[in-house]
Amino acid sequence: MTKIVRLITLRTMLYFSVVPVALAQPIIPGLVSSELDPKLKGLVLIEELNCVACHQSAEPFAARSKKAPRLSAVGSRVNPTYLEAFISDPHETKPGTTMPDVLIQLDKEERKQVAKSLTHFLLSLKKNDFSLQPPDAVAAEHGEHLFRSRGCVACHSPRNEAGTELLQESSVPLGALEKKYSVKSLVDFLRHPHSSRPSGRMPDLRLQGNDAERIAHYLLRDTRVPGPLAYKMYRGQVWEGLESAKVEAERAGQVRDFALASLGRVHHQTAVEYQGWLKIPQQGSYTFYLQMNGGSLHVNGKQLVLENPSNRRGPKRMQASTELPAGWRKIELTYFHTGRDPKFSFELEGPQFKRQAIPSSMLSVSEHPIPAFEPLVVDPALAARGRKHFGILGCAKCHDDLRIPSKSGPAFATLDPGKGCLSEAPGKWPRFNLNGKQRQLIAKALPGVEQERLNERQQLEKALVTFNCIACHDRSGLGGIAPERNANFSGTREALGNQGRLPPPLSHVGAKLKPEWIAEVLLRGKRQREYLDASMPQFGEANVGHLVNLFAKVDKLEAVTIPKIANIKESKSAGYEMMGTTGFSCIACHDFNGQKAGGAGALDIVHVTDRLQKNWFHLYMRNPARFHSTVIMPSYWPGGQSIRPNLLKGDTAQQIEALWTYLLDGPRAKKPKGLSRQSAEIRVTDVAEIARGRGTAGYRGIGVGYPEGINLAFDSEEMALRQLWKGDFASVNHGSFRARGGERISFPPGIPFHRLKSMDDNWPYKGKSNYTFPHDHGYQFRGYHLDALRRPTFLYHYGEVTVEDLFEDVPGKDGKAWFKRTFRFETPGAQKPFYFRAASGKKITAQVDREFVIDQLQLRITSDHKGVVREGDPGEVLIPLTLPKGRSTLTLEYRW
Amino acid sequence: MVGNRYLNALWALTLSTLLPAEDLGEMWGSAKEEAKYYPIVNIPIPPEVPMRTGSFEILPDGRLAVGTRRGDIYFVKGAFDSPPTPDYHLFASGQDEIFGLAWKNGAMTATQFGEVTRISDTDGDGVADRYDTLSNNWGYAEGHEFAFGSKHDPEGNIWVALGLSGSYKSHNLFRGWAVKVTPDGKMIPVCSGLRSPGGVGPNAEGVMFSIESQGPWNGCCSLKHLKQGGFLGHPASYNWYPFVPGMDTPAVEPNTPSRLQVEKKRVKELVPPAVRFPYIKMGRSISGFRLNQTGGKFGPFENQIFLGDYTLSIILRATTEEINGVWQGACYPFREGLASGIMHVEFSPQGQLIAGGFTTNRQWPVRGTEPFALQRIDWTGLMPFEIKEINIAKDGFLINFTKPVDPSIAARTEVYNITTYTHKFSAGYGSPEVDQTTAKVTKAIPSADGLSVNVHLEKIIEGHIHDFDLTTMKSMEGGTLLHTKAYYTVNEIPKN
């Protein structure tokens, strides 16, 4: 194909894939939607078009102007055909782009030549690996949902089913992405947008898992790549039919033939729909041979095979013949990989065509040839010319990462609003396609804009418009979520209404949140509202780091008189009362330390004091509706009067302060009354939590989560410690529990105490068939009792010895909590010596005879006992015990 | 991609025959009529409480205690008020699945999967702080190894029925046995041969029974007598006799397939199920039961057993009598249309029947749709016209009614449609109804007060369920029976 034909084809395709737009001015959404001062809007335009790149200023102004994309790796990122078309005519190729047309003064042929040379130059910069991948329609379906729910459509236009952009005028344009990117290059871009666009206007969405791929497959779903066969794979109860609710589409794409192995791993209970075109070499009768559990075959519009699948039998053999004319004939095959010994074979036999599997060469995804992507071979001479153009045309001014010298334009101070780029006339200047309004805005700003020092409010508002923060967050006086985009925001907690769906407003946010928390959210992507589908994207600390202080300086609310607390204990206890179901029942709606609320599932309440300023908390509690017009939270002090006059003498300020004081304990705040037990996860607050049953410590396990954030699992079958871990406690499901958290230390199966016959003797544990173990070793579990912190002391017998076994969680000086374990023995008479097996592991070192390191565990004996190491794989730390008559004690410390 | 719409359409036509949706069986269709006498009252559950009932108890202060699958014990005040004004107090938490609660001497004894535990509040703050293990001396190391516990018997023992390993085998000590746990924590094995038991409790005579589920060696669900030294039908648990001092392994195993009435002559330890519940007609997975000793507050069915069904969300009745030293009896429909799968029932001091349970979204289909529910059945005081109880006689049955029957109708033999059948006694799963016969009624003699009828049969068939259909029976007032069906399991025929 000649280049001209290619260009024409490209344009024709663009014409069909993007609705032609009359409005082709550069689009900066915040400018359209915000109520920013027009003078500042002019400044935003100057910055977003990077005017100061060419028109230098003596003043330190517009320093935060948007840098153009970095181009050194553009050859791997962007399809060269697109690149050339875009350079040649940016406004037609991508209507709404901020890239100016710098070739406007050239005639058609020159333009083509220059664009071509620039393309060769850009591709000469690095080795390029651009190639096209076929889109995955299943991933694209997920991607379509993500494009909407993750917040892409806050800045970019929502699309209808056909892919037509519906809000072009107020959206950052995307253009025909399938002409520009490959799946791979778009995924790379979505993962690291700031490596090519350092100014952060496109934020990093911190996409997890396959989300970047899914969005890329959606945006590139019109990419056409040649190949033998298209397929779509389903999984689940496929024998019920592919439209069953128990069946999910898994993936789609292209495959080289009908061999199952070509699809990679195929799980049991899978169905595959194949679709393609079969090249019939000559007219005649063709026979298709199939072996499969079930499925269907259509060739040239005729159904040849239909066999209902069954998950109860093996594969069947079938065959069908049909008359086929020569040429490309449509073939559709659905195959069910289910039932006993699933097998798939598919063969064709015809005139002069021996029975065999259909080779790739006879298959195509399209009856018309799809051109394959051909990498551009860089012509060094062209590239050298392109390099010159890059400097002369001023490309290098904005794309300054390539460090190519280029002459500057007139100094900023000398600019005349009626001339050059700002005039409508074409000339030797770049054409931005500014519309009248935009010209006016710049004209209005121009006089004195260099010298003008913005106050803090202006700086803040300019940034909120530049980064289009107001596309997601309302801020009074500046703007907010556009009505036509509002419905795109979604969440998982419907009961919260708009608050469960829309990102929080930014009005007064500097007087609401602690600066530390603003920084966490803005610069490190922390979030509290897990139920919002959109999450806070990251714009880069260099770009928005200054907003943290600006918010604090600009946003002011009246100061509340914070009451003095006479008795902190009384105050906390009142806070505790108010929180629970017998008080204000805050936990009816709010999650509490990860423990899900029975009802609405509002924001987790234990982190309130980390995030909020106390002054705002007081203001908000008095009248929540002041800050959210549609807030669900009622006022508990209507008109300043408490609805609980019996607490703290009904003093409103004291009551609100009491809630704050109580919540200052964060996750360790005393567990409120009536906390929901519906959640599968058990969180520990101020007292220990217990979960019994099968799971982490055998079938008769007892899991204990301690307030200091450490946990253990005790096996009441063998009366032995089985596991230690840190962090979250456990998930429960009926009578089972599983350790959560991490940093696990495991202990081997077996009883705690034993009289070894020799040091070679095996340590006994319950196997499958020693049915009466460990009762036959003298053991009997007797339960446990709880202390004031609800920590259990396990009770059991070992022969004549009565054992009380207590673990206490001790806060460490270094912030690392550890366990103190106390055995209290009572015996009716002196006992023959036996061993306590304290730990076991691969690598054991004894510091002294009371201190051992067993893999990650540090064990210390603090009573008057000594340990010995028994070699072996694994080795063991044994503590010989000779119990006297009456009471005696063994104490240990576990650190890890 | 396209191409399958027609294929799917074709399936839609054929699927109904290929893959019938799980059919839970017909409803009795009597719910509307039942509600006139026994309305169902919902006891509200606040959103924070996961009330998956495993067992019930009534506290001395009149509160309802509920043990849950989650391993919590709630004390509920106001559950018996009209309307209910329940206040839930969490007494104990963090246990394994609780399928047995019994209050005695200021402590709650809970049967959980792994042990029997006495749970008490020693510091008086209303929350348990001592969990004393009475016994954990049975094997528990596989899935489905349920443990269901009774209330205290007169000696203070808790009887525990232990389900088989995975409900098929007995891999761990005493799986498939019933044991009793004494107040001082000794475990005494009672009998073998259980499969997948449900609730455990006494009948009016204080004899202990357990619910059993349909499956291998069990043609249908049943109520089984936990007879000391007995073998209750499923031989997987034979392997634990060597662990029981003073009990010998039965000399023979039952043959398969066979009949109970044949095998009980071969295996002398075999105790046939006292009441069999024909599958689907009378439940699919019957569960916890309780004796009605409300002194008439719950209507005419004093001293009868009330039990729930998990799958069909219904309540049934059963009566027992001892004939020739063997327990047997009948079952009767009572109430349908409960909201969730029923695991346990209990009678309130006010004479209401409390029913609770849950559904699971993956294990077992349930007709009720609520994930869990707490419901109450109140008696309005109106007398329903019901078959109250059937007793066997030497030559037939004595059918007792709750209201006088119309003697002219009750004297007609054709009013009594009695068919008989039994189940295969076999290692296969469940059994169809086999050996069908139709009983010939020779005489029907109403009593003078019209409250009972002596029905004479040409022949009573030992080992058969006698299936009564009294659709055409009329009361003196001309009313028809609220439930026309009853099912009597004949293990023995009285000698005189």
Same domain, A327 and A275: yes
Chain A, chain B: beta-carbon pairs less than 8 Å apart: 154
Tell me how far apart the alpha carbons of residues B304 and A210 are, in angstroms, rounded to a whole number: 61
Chain B residue numbers with beta carbons less than 8 Å from the beta carbon of A275 are: 1-3
A210 within a domain of the structure (yes/no) = yes
Mean pLDDT of A348-373: 95
| Predicted pLDDT of residue A7 | 41
Chosen for mutation from A694, A706, A716 (greatest number of chain B CBs closer than 10 Å) is A694
- Report whether pLDDT(A19) > 60: no
If asked whether residues A728 and A621 sit together in one domain, one would say: no
- Residue range B209-265, pLDDT digits in tens: 999 999 999 999 999 999 999 999 999 999 999 999 999 999 999 999 999 999 999
Task: Find, among A698, A700, A703, A752, the residue nearest to A728 by Cα.
Answer: A703
- How far apart CA A596 and CA A544 sit, in angstroms, is 34
Partner-chain contact B8 A795, CB within 8 Å: no
- Structure confidence at residue B47 (pLDDT): 83
> For residue A5, what pLDDT is reported?
41
Domain termination site, one of A334, A364, A394: A364
In this complex, is the C-beta atom of A50 within 8 Å of any C-beta atom belonging to chain B? no
Cβ–Cβ of B72/A717 closer than 8 Å? no
Q: Which of A196, A219, A242 is the last residue of a domain?
A: A219
What average pLDDT does the segment A434-457 reach? 91
**Domain annotation covers residue A100:** no
Q: Which residues contact A422 (CB under 8 A, 6 or more apart)?
A: A415, A416, A434, A439, A442, A443
Which chain A residue lies closest to B244 (C-alpha atoms)? A772
Tell me whether residues A781 and B133 touch, CB distance under 8 A. yes
Which pLDDT tens digit goes with each residue over A226-282? 999 999 999 998 988 898 888 999 999 999 999 999 999 999 999 999 999 999 999
Q: Do A781 and B8 touch (CB under 8 A)?
A: no
Q: What whole-number distance in Å separates Cα of residue A92 and Cα of residue A94?
A: 6
**What CATH number is associated with residue A327?**
2.60.120.380
A396 vs A72: CA distance, rounded Å: 12
Q: Which pLDDT score is estimated for A533?
A: 95
Q: Do residues A145 and A290 both lie within one domain?
A: no
- Residue A799: band (very low, low, confident or very high) from pLDDT cuts 50, 70, 90: very high
Instruction: Pick B281 or A596 by higher pLDDT.
Output: B281
Residue A250 sits at the chain B interface (C-beta within 8 Å): no
| Mean pLDDT taken over chain B | 93
Q: Give the per-residue pLDDT at B17.
A: 32
Residues A580 and A543 in one domain: no
Q: Are residues A583 and A687 in the same domain?
A: no
Least confident span in A472-486, B113-127, B280-294, B355-369: B355-369
Q: Which residues contact A599 (CB under 8 A, 6 or more apart)?
A: A495, A588, A589, B47
Is A675 near chain B, with CB under 8 Å? yes
Is the pLDDT at A620 greater than 60? The verdict is yes
* Cβ contact B171:B141 at 8 Å: yes
Helix axes A211-219, A183-191, angle to 10 degrees: 130
Identify residue A513 by its one-letter amino acid code: L
pLDDT of residue A673: 85
Q: Does A168 touch chain B (CB under 8 A)?
A: no
Write down the pLDDT at residue A847.
86
Domain match, A332 and A470 both: no
Distance set, CA A658 to CA A169, A655, A667 (Å): 51, 5, 16
Closest CA to A363 of A225, A227, A228: A228
Do the domain assignments include residue A790? Answer: yes
Backbone phi, then psi, for B27, in 5-degree steps? -75, 155
| Cβ neighbours for A715, distance < 8 A, ≥ 6 positions apart | A697, A698, A700, A701, A702, A721, A722, A749
Q: CA geometry: angle at A580 spanning A575 and A582, to 5°?
A: 105
pLDDT at residue B1 in the model? 37
Angle at A87 between CA A85 and CA A89, to 5 degrees: 65
pLDDT band at residue B362, thresholds of 50, 70 and 90? low
B48·A775 Cβ contact <8 A: no
> Is A665 an 8 Å CB contact of chain B?
no
Same domain, A165 and A240: no
A73 belongs to a structural domain: no
Interface test with B, best of A330, A336, A591, A677 (most B CBs within 10 A): A677
Is residue A484 classed as helix, strand or coil in its secondary structure? helix
pLDDT tens digits, residue range B447-496? 999 999 999 999 999 999 999 999 999 999 999 999 999 999 999 999 98
Q: Is the peptide bond before B83 cis (omega within 30 degrees of 0)?
A: yes
Give every CB contact of residue B105 below 8 A, 6+ residues apart in sequence.
none
pLDDT at A11 over 50: no
- Percent of chain A topping pLDDT 70: 97
- φ and ψ at residue A409, rounded to 5 degrees: -85, -170
For residues B228 and A23, the model is more confident at: B228
Q: Which of residues 832-871 of A touch B (CB under 8 A)?
A: none
Nearest chain A Cα to B71, which residue? A735
User: pLDDT value at position A8?
Assistant: 41
Under an 8 A CB cutoff, do A786 and B130 touch?
A: yes
User: Which DSSP string corresponds to B186-203?
Assistant: -EEEEEB--SS---EEE-
Whether A657 has its CB under 8 Å from any CB of chain B: the answer is no
A505 lies in which domain range? 456-554
User: Quick check: B5 pLDDT over 60?
Assistant: no
DSSP state of A471: G
How far is residue B448's CA from residue B410's CA, in Å, rounded to a whole number?
A: 12
Quick one: A495 and A547 in the same domain? Answer: yes
- Statement to judge: residues A514 and A618 lie in one domain: no
Pick A296's closest partner by Cβ from B7, B118, B133. B7
Structure pTM? Answer: 0.73
- Secondary structure letter of residue A619 according to DSSP: H
Q: What percent of chain A has pLDDT over 90?
A: 79
pLDDT tier, A384 (very low <50, low <70, confident <90, very high otherwise): very high
CATH number assigned to the domain comprising residue A661:
1.10.760.10
Q: Considering Cα of B380, then B381, then B385, then B390, what sign does the dihedral take?
A: positive
User: Within this chain, do residues A773 and A891 fall inside the same structural domain, yes or no?
Assistant: yes
Lowest mean pLDDT among A219-223, A345-349, A718-722, B20-24: B20-24
Is residue A507 over pLDDT 50?
Answer: yes
CB–CB of B192/B231 below 8 Å?
A: yes
My answer on whether A468 and A548 are in the same domain is: yes
- In chain B, residues with a C-beta closer than 8 Å to the C-beta of A598 are 46-49
Contact A692 B47 (CB under 8 A): no
Cα separations (Å) of A850 from A120, A803, A844, B474? 74, 22, 13, 87
For residue range B67-80, what is the model confidence (pLDDT) as tens digits? 999 999 999 999 99
- By C-alpha distance, the chain A residue nearest B69 is A734
A302 touching chain B per CB within 8 A: no
pLDDT in tens, B121-147: 999 999 999 999 999 999 999 988 999
Provide the pLDDT confidence category of residue B351 given band limits of 50, 70 and 90.
very high
Q: Where are the alpha helices (DSSP H) in A399-536?
A: 436-445, 456-466, 483-486, 509-512, 515-524
Asked if residue A420 is part of any domain, the answer here is no
Q: Please state the rounded mean pLDDT for residues B388-397.
A: 97
Do the domain assignments include residue A852?
Answer: yes
**Residue A511 counted as domain residue:** yes
Q: Domain total for chain A?
A: 5
Interface contact flag, B4 A597, Cβ < 8 Å:
no
- A525 and A647 fall within a common domain: no
With b for 16 or more beta-carbon neighbours within 10 A and e for fewer, the A406-439 pattern comes to: beebeebeebeeeebbbeeeeeebbbbbbeeebb
pLDDT of residue A868 exceeding 60: yes
Distances (CA, A) of B120 to A9, A287, A701, B6, B93: 84, 79, 21, 65, 12
Which has the minimum average pLDDT: A581-595, A659-673, A829-843, B169-183?
A: A581-595
For A490-500, write each residue's pLDDT tens digit: 999 888 888 89
Bond into A359 cis (ω within 30): no
Q: In this structure, what DSSP letter does residue A525 have?
A: -
Q: Is the pLDDT of residue A147 over 90?
A: yes
Domains plus CATH for chain B? 31-377 (2.120.10.30), 387-489 (2.60.40.1220)
Residue numbers of A between 558 and 617 with CB closer than 8 Å to B: 581, 587-588, 597-599
Who among B70, B118, B122 is closest to A734 (CB)?
Answer: B70
Mean pLDDT for A810-836 is: 95
List of chain B residues whose C-beta atoms are within 8 Å of the C-beta of residue A780? 137, 185
Q: A662 in helix, strand or coil? A: helix
Q: Chain B contact for A310, CB < 8 A? A: yes
In this prediction, residue B24 carries a pLDDT of 67
pLDDT tens-digit series, residues A305-328: 999 998 888 999 999 999 999 999
pLDDT tens-digit profile of B190-224?
999 999 999 999 999 999 999 999 999 999 999 99
Q: Is the pLDDT of residue A539 over 70?
A: yes
Look at residue A372 and tell me whether its pLDDT is greater than 80.
yes
How far is the alpha carbon of B93 from chain A, nearest alpha carbon, in Å? Answer: 7
Domain's final residue, options A532, A554, A576: A554
Q: Does residue A15 register a pLDDT over 70?
A: no
Scanning A480-539 for CB atoms below 8 A from B yields none
Tokens of B388: 């109250």
Residues of A in contact with B89 (CB under 8 A): none
Among B96, B171, B358, the residue to mutate for chain A (most A Cβ within 10 A): B96
Any idea which residue has 């056909």 for tokens? A162
pLDDT over 60 at A61, yes or no: yes
